[in-house]
Amino acid sequence: MTILDPRICQLGEGALWHPLRRQFFWFDIINGHLLSQDRTGPRIWKFPEMVSAAAWVSEDVLLIAGERDLFLFDLETEEVEPLVDLEADKPRNRSNDGRADRQGGFWIGTMAKEPSEQKGAGAIYRFYKGELRVLFPGISIPNAICFSPDGKIAYFADTMAQTIWKIALDGEGWPIGERQVFRDETGTDIYPDGAVTDAAGNVWCAQWGASRVAAYAPDGSFLREVAVGAPHSSCPAFGGPDLTTLFCTTAQEGMTDAAIAACPDAGKVFVATGIAKGLPEPQVTL
């Protein structure tokens, strides 16, 4: 992968290709930034809180997950409209990974800000048609939220547990039955981070500390990897005119000064073309 954008994020996350704007967005969670590039060059929107993930509502409006709520944000006017509280009673938590499902819902995970408090402190929620419902409590570091092309399966991970699960969804996008293990990496050096599915149903998962995005077939078997030029690969997305461009955010969080000096590209966004064909990100139903 090559460098798409030279700006460095402390914790790059929330990779999103907006299908109407044909524009790539990502977040620097720790610094409260939403970043992008358009025809005029690099853009940045600064928030007074940590922001982590988004889905598109219209050409100009995103649904964004902040520390304490979900809110609408107009990219042109910068107007903010709060939607619903998100663990507002837990000020030591923040949002993390999130993605829209095929039915128009928005899944979002929460976690503790302090590493020493993260064990079991978070959860995964779904926002759909005005309702926010907790789906999976007791998650330490929620990640890898993505969905099969037909919308019948959801994937999600707990990075601390080194496990990706899958679960069946009903016609409205709500989980049914029990979750099943998709990938169990316990006892290895693999820590699943953000993920996205391609048009064939394969799961592409960025892996924290592994400098790669790994692809897995729907049965969980390993297919291939794409090397990323920084150790903490954090969140992939497919985009570009024909959805065959693979983007991946990275982070400097957790790296020593010596490690950053050895890899000055850590925290930048990387890109590769012709890897696989993705799917358009679904529109959220408010």
Angle of CA points 72, 74, 80, to nearest 5°? 50
Residues 6 or more apart in contact with residue 90 via CB below 8 angstroms: 110, 121
With beta carbons less than 8 A apart as the criterion, state whether 135 and 126 touch: yes
121 SS3 class: coil
Which tokens sit at 54?
């988004």
Q: Which of 193, 198, 219, 242 is catalytic?
A: 193
Q: What is the DSSP letter of 117?
A: G
Look at the alpha carbons of 45, 47, 50, 52 in this order and tell me if their dihedral is positive or negative. Answer: negative
Residue 162 contacts residue 188 (beta carbons within 8 Å):
yes
- CA dist 113 and 120 (Å) reads 12
Is 85 a known active-site residue? no
Specify whether the CB–CB gap between 2 and 268 falls below 8 A.
no
Q: How many CB atoms lie within 10 A of CB 216?
A: 21
User: Which tokens sit at 91?
Assistant: 């000020």
**Which amino acid, 35?**
L
Mind giving me the DSSP string for 205-216? EEEBTTTEEEEE
Active site residues: 193
